[in-house]
Structure 1
Amino acid sequence: MEQTTMKKSILLITPENRDIHRIRRRQFNNFTQLTMPYLAGFINEDHYKITLVDEYNQRIPYHEKFDLIAITVNTPNAAHCYAISERFRESGASVILGGPHVTLLPEEAMVHCEYVIIGEAEETWPRFLEEFYNGKAQPKYSSDKPPTLEGLPLPKRGLIKNRILTKGAVIASRGCPYCCSYCNLKQIYHPKFRCRPVQEVITDIRNISSRYFVFWDDNFFGNHQYAISLMKELKSLGKKWAAQVTLKDCNDVELLKMARDSGCIYLFLGLESFSAESLSLVNKEINKIEDYQRIIGLIHQHQISVQAGIIFGFDTDDKSVFEKTLRWCEELGIDGATVSLLTPLPGTPIYEELKRKGRLLSDDWSHYNGKTSVAFKPNHMTPEELFEGYMWFRKNFYSLRSILRRLTVSKTNVFHNLLMNLGYRWSLK
């Protein structure tokens, strides 16, 4: 008789601690985190029964029995993830941790689990799953060479619960050619910029039921010819999309025209600061302050909205930076902003510099979320003044007065912009 294999049960967790959850839960434009649905695509369902939980809108089922728990860990969630891990280990489950924080600090993570995956997981994750199923798993798996992005499985979006419009996240490329000192991409990814085959990306997008999706790439315009080839194929799908790009690449009219014609409604630009000195300090001189107005105007001319990444806490920032930044944003018609406190993530050049100078305030990773805590001593302010200024900016940027002023300048995607701005405003309540 043919022997029937016994399935093991695996729980995939997208964690979200309480501080971050309080910020995100009321916003309207939070697309699902793609990591776990994506990793689920590699799982052999003849061997495993899969459950996926996203703490954004679900509770972790501690009362259920699982053979294996897999958690993706970023720095501000580290302590939270370790607590989840320990609780499941007490019930007899095995735990594997991966993600950015584990890649940066694997020895720390290994104290709290049986297995870790260091770096990119396209090759190591399937190997681990097979070896775990056969009782031969090793404690540590690491990626020694850049995994190819060809032939990747589709994310198992059917495992995502209670999301209608925000299931759609897609990977087209990986990496970024730049080296900003506060960014940890160079520490967690192999340096080579890689792209998925265009038709595989299109198949992935067709698999999204919603009309709206977001590219989860670090720099969607990182390879111009690839981006153009992909956007040509996107045109026939009738979808609306957003992506993260650099300001410099938006100087290319052909890229912007193709983006508009293929359904782009939003571009996230890491402006970070309106001070050339600040940008120089963190190795982001690709942003030229004198180009902001012209290029943002060019984006708006193509009926694409701008979501600006803004960071407060650079060493040149003083208490005047908050009002100055608000004035710039209103004059330029910045449609929306993702505002953060400078966060010295472990492994980055800025972390090493602040640690060397004795300016880090805590070794509690939950303070490194860029939203609710200042993790270092600022240069021209107290930590309290930095946080108060950051909150003042958020409150005033999403005031009704500022929303109306910015949208009047932008005149772009007014309905979407108004809805998004009101979502951020509501999240501040």
Structure 2
Amino acid sequence: MKKTILLITPENKEINKFRKKQVNNFVQITMPYLAGFIDESKYNISIIDEYNQKIPFNDDFDLIAITVNTSNASHCYKIASKFRSKGCKVVFGGPHATLMSDEAINYCDYIIIGEAEDTWPRFLEDFYDNKAKKLYKTECITSLKGLPIPRRDLIKGRYLTKGAVFATRGCPYNCSYCNLKQIYFNSFRTRPIEEVIDDIRSMNRRYFVFWDDNFFGDIEYAKRLMKELAKLNKKWAAQVTLERCEDEELLRLSRESGCIYFFVGLESFSEMSLASVNKRINNVDRYKRIIQLIHKNGISMQAGIIFGFDTDTKTVFRKTLEECNSLGIDGVTVSILTPLPKTPLYEQLKKENRLISTDWIYFNGKTRVAFKPKNMTPEELFNGYMWFRKEFYSMKSIIKRLLVSKTNIIYNFIVNLGYKFSIKETKFYNMN
């Protein structure tokens, strides 16, 4: 007899309200990917993504699987409580379940720690046979060979943004605010190129994103993959590091294989700020030349910007806006520095007694400040961050940047408008 399983991609109301009107929010691939491992002769599978769906609390399921990230942890615990009160079993996995397993295990029936390629199928077999253990933990580096195609057919209502795929796992760098090294084994890995291409071919759409943490983590692999990708006539985007974009062959192959834009973690225009979080791979003096190279190849750039470094003062917001406008940066994903658990940054701020709250909703990097900055108050940091977002996506700034970039102008204008109209007045949450 088949059992029923519901896989949930959670998103609390605060973050959902923040993201809803942005036009380039591609689906998170985790749950469609995990669904690919499930034996349909044993399970009826459903996926719910809270970005655009409501959780069916009134329905009955044998098993609820939730991927838990830090900012959604409290929300996930409430979801689990509702289902468990009805007798449904709940399994947690994901970044927060891995980083804070001693906490998360108190809110679920089962927990999967670390990468799930080996443990998830084993857990599913055990659960079906009514002999599942409380805890499953990956003990060795998992291979990315022979992975299933994600079940994109189970994604509802995300036609334009359901195209996501991954080719690599991990990142070769060690930024102190990033938790990749704590979540994954410290080993950068690649999928077989033919399997990545088969995965991309399976998507019935022209536009997609690579969900990799650093698509250019292995340059020679990326070049071989893009040579094959060029044969598919697709359009794509990926997250890369700026210093790797000095390789002009890499940029040419990106253009020829259909790349539309890169997401690049600039983080700051201050060498001191970058050094303070161990991101010395970014060289501010080379920003202009490399960004011009990217634009020369017809590729747009979405920059990651972070505010709240210990070297930041209240002048950082205006200075960053001026730099972005002068460089023609096509778009930004701007965040408040967030000390994610188990990272060096978290340990530093905890030791210095600078964490504001232990409520994980404060750790979302978008609507709240989780720590006490050095050179401004938490409220000044939040208000400066909000000011930058509004000014960057003002019509004046949009036009100024597009005139410098001259890259994918219509597409970039639409994306910028999406961000502009998504910005609303957000109150500062004061713990005092």
Partner of 2:91: helix, strand, or coil? strand
Counterparts of 2:335 and 2:76, CA distance in 1: 22
Partner of 1:365: 360
**1:33 and 2:28 correspond:** yes
In the other structure, the counterpart of 2:162 is: 167
Out of 272, 281, 287, the residue aligned to residue 276 of structure 2 is: 281
**1:251-305 per-position Cα deviation (integer Å, ceiling 9, x unaligned):** 0000000000000010011000000000000000000000000000000000000
Residue 150 of structure 1 is matched in structure 2 by 145
2:2 to 7, 22, 44: 7
What is the CA deviation profile of residues 384-419 of structure 1, one whole-angstrom value per residue up to 9, with x for unaligned ones?
Answer: 000000000000000000000000000000111011
- Taking every aligned residue pair, what percent have the same amino acid on both sides? 65
1: CA distance, partners of 2:119 / 2:390: 44
1:61-140 equivalences under 5 Å are 61-140=56-135
Does residue 1:55 correspond to 2:50, yes or no? yes
CA RMSD after TM alignment: 0.5
Q: Size of the alignment, in residue pairs?
A: 424
SS, match of residue 44 in structure 2: strand
Q: How far is 1:236 from its partner? A: 1.4
User: Which residue identity does 2:226 align to in structure 1?
Assistant: M
| 1:400 and 2:395 correspond | yes
Match of 1:376 in 2: 371
CA contact (8 A) 1:39 1:155 kept: yes
Could you tell me which of 252, 259, 262 is aligned with 2:254?
259
In the aligned structure 2, how far is the partner of 1:8 from the partner of 1:79? 27
The alpha carbon displacement at 1:226 in A equals 0.6
Residue in structure 1 matched with residue 203 of structure 2 by the alignment: 208
| Contact preservation (8 Å) 1:15, 1:71 | yes
CA–CA distance in 1 between the matches of 2:226 and 2:19? 30
The equivalent residue for 1:3 is none
Aligned equivalents of 2:18, 2:155: Cα separation in 1: 21
The AA in structure 2 aligned to 1:45 is E
TM-score normalised according to structure 2 size = 0.98
Q: Is the 1:167–1:210 Cα contact (8 Å) retained in structure 2?
A: no
Gaps of at least 5 residues in structure 2 are: 425-432
Instruction: Identify unmatched segments of 5+ residues in structure 1.
Output: 1-5
* TM-score, scaled relative to structure 1: 0.98
1:347 to 334, 342, 350: 342
Report the equivalent of 2:189. 194
Say whether the 8 Å CA contact 1:14–1:71 is kept in structure 2: yes
Corresponding position: 1:322 with 2:352? no
Partner of 1:292: 287
Q: Distance in 2 between matches of 1:222 and 1:155?
A: 23
Q: Distance in 2 between matches of 1:28 and 1:376?
A: 30
**1:165 shift after superposition:** 1.1
* Equivalent residue, structure 2, for 1:179: 174
1:225-264 equivalences in 2 (<5 Å) = 225-264=220-259
> What is the CA deviation profile of residues 330-366 of structure 1, one whole-angstrom value per residue up to 9, with x for unaligned ones?
0000000000000000000000000000000000000
Distance 1:388 1:301 in 2: 35
Instruction: Report deviation, 1:164.
Output: 1.2
In the alignment, the residues of structure 2 paired with residue 336 and residue 51 of structure 1 have an alpha-carbon distance, to the nearest angstrom, of 35
**Secondary structure at the counterpart of residue 180 of structure 1:** coil
Q: 2:332 maps to which residue?
A: 337
